[in-house]
Amino acid sequence: MSTSRPSRILAPLALIVCVIAVGIVFSNTMGGDDGGADKASTSQTSTAKKKSSSSKKRKTYVVKSGDSFSVISEKTGVPVEDLVQLNPGVDPQSLRTGQKLKLVASSSSS
């Protein structure tokens, strides 16, 4: 009976490794809530800044597959009513991919 089985050594080692792994996951989950919230709000803020600054500069929008006036309104920040008024010859129900839509009124009407 002097022969030792590898399971007598491996089983306790596996248990220790599992306990350490659970501890790491638990500590990352508990400690990550505060830092994760800050990162998420920072990400949302920078995304909002990018959208607002790009929508101020763009005068036209190129229709993509699956777009509708409401989707374009959300992407550009231009109300649906304004899109309808700025694009009187465009049927909102039959937008074509690649079609250009006005986002702002032309300033040539002085």
Give φ, ψ of 107 to 5 degrees.
-90, 10
In this structure, how many other beta carbons lie within 10 angstroms of the beta carbon of residue 67?
17
Cβ proximity of 69 and 83 under 8 Å: yes
In angstroms, the CA 99 to CA 68 distance is: 12
- pLDDT greater than 50 at residue 15: yes
C-alpha angle 69-77-103 in degrees, rounded to nearest 5:
65
Q: Which pLDDT score is estimated for 31?
A: 60
Over residues 90-97, the mean pLDDT reads 92
Q: Give the pLDDT confidence of 16-73 residue by residue, as tens digits.
A: 988 898 888 877 777 654 555 555 545 555 555 555 554 456 899 999 999 999 999 9
pTM (predicted TM-score): 0.46
Amino acid identity for residue 93 in this structure: Q
Grouping H, G, I as helix, E, B as strand and the rest as coil, residue 102 is strand
> How confident is residue 110, by pLDDT bands cut at 50, 70 and 90?
very low
Range list of H helices, 1-110: 7-57, 69-76, 80-86
